[in-house]
Amino acid sequence: MQVVISQISEAQILVYVIGLVLFLAWESLHPFFSFFRSSGRVRASHIIKNLVLGAINSLVIALAFVAMWVAASIWAEEHSWGLLNQLSLIGLPPWAHAIGAVLLFDAWTYTWHRLNHRIPFLWRFHRVHHSDTKMDVSTAGRFHVGEIILSSALRIPLIVLLGVYAWELLLYETIMFGVVQFHHANIGVPPRLDRILRTVIVTPAMHKVHHSRLMVETDSNYSALFSFWDRAARSFRLRPDPHEIEFGLDQFAGPEADSLAALIKMPLVRSDRSAPGS
């Protein structure tokens, strides 16, 4: 298992770097919004700040949680704990186990994301992600380390309850983050292609709505990888012209709220509302 985990971890890094370079180039050549047309320095500062947050989060996960995920997975498999492990005892093939793991974890990601909008304590951390007024591919990793610690810790019992192998979780994370980079990127996809793609995965047109300043739009499109969770839960929403969308949060609209120090301290700032969906 360690060999497989090591290989997937290496693939994760490769997917992240390729996605970052690809979408940064796409944004440079054909940006959907002209955020940085007048200043390359402002763009560089924005990207570096978001990448620093992402690097901190990746380090915390690698040092504090991956080993616990692996241990939980091994324990669950050895004791036949969890839904998928129980199904394996009655003939569930390995390929179906892997597909089931990806689907179940993506359903959890949808649920967790929605909870971050509903529960005021969680929203304090999640505001860091939504406060970005210039959403681009670097926003994909712009999360407060507190949110990452909470979500990573919750995955330990979830691995046991679902009977998910650690390599399946890492595989899901690899695929999911590639799609997350895609739908956060400051790019536009031809409407017809976007419409076809969003029957299965989350697209830029879909996720731009989620980052809108309008609360009714912020409280929609919670999916990360597969888009059908929003349709099933009736939280799917589109804007006829995404160019009209304004990103960010009114409470944190000024440049002073977007420094690295301000983002790290943001959960301590009292919110002017309890949570978007409350």
| Cα–Cα distance for residue pair 103/87, rounded to 1 Å | 15
Please indicate whether residue 180 or residue 6 has the higher confidence score (pLDDT): 180
Per-residue pLDDT tens over the stretch 212-232: 999 999 999 999 999 999 999
In a domain, 172, yes or no: yes
Structural domain count, the chain? 1
Domain that holds residue 43: 2-268
pLDDT at 55: 95
Residue-wise pLDDT for 163-202, tens only, equals 999 899 989 999 999 999 999 999 999 999 999 999 999 9
Residue 139 included in any domain: yes
Q: Identify whether 274 is part of a domain.
A: no
Does 128 fall in a domain?
Answer: yes
Q: Which residue has the tokens 């959403």?
A: 135
Indicate the residue type of 253: A
Of 78-92, 117-131, 214-228, 251-265, least confident by mean pLDDT is 251-265
Q: How far apart are CA 77 and CA 163, in angstroms?
A: 7
277 falls within a domain: no
In total, the chain counts a number of residues equal to: 278
Our CA angle for 185, 186, 189, nearest 5°, is: 85
Cα–Cα distance measured from residue 117 to residue 121, given in angstroms and rounded to the nearest whole number = 9
Report the chain's terminal Cα–Cα distance, integer Å. 43
Specify whether the CB–CB gap between 19 and 176 falls below 8 A: no
In a domain, 89, yes or no: yes
Question: Residue 198 falls within a domain, yes or no?
Answer: yes
Model confidence band, residue 17 (pLDDT cutoffs 50, 70, 90): very high
pLDDT at 4 over 70: no
In this structure, are residues 188 and 30 in contact, taking their beta carbons and an 8 Å threshold? yes
Indicate whether 1 pLDDT > 70. no
The band of 41, judged by pLDDT with boundaries at 50, 70 and 90, is confident
158, part of any domain: yes
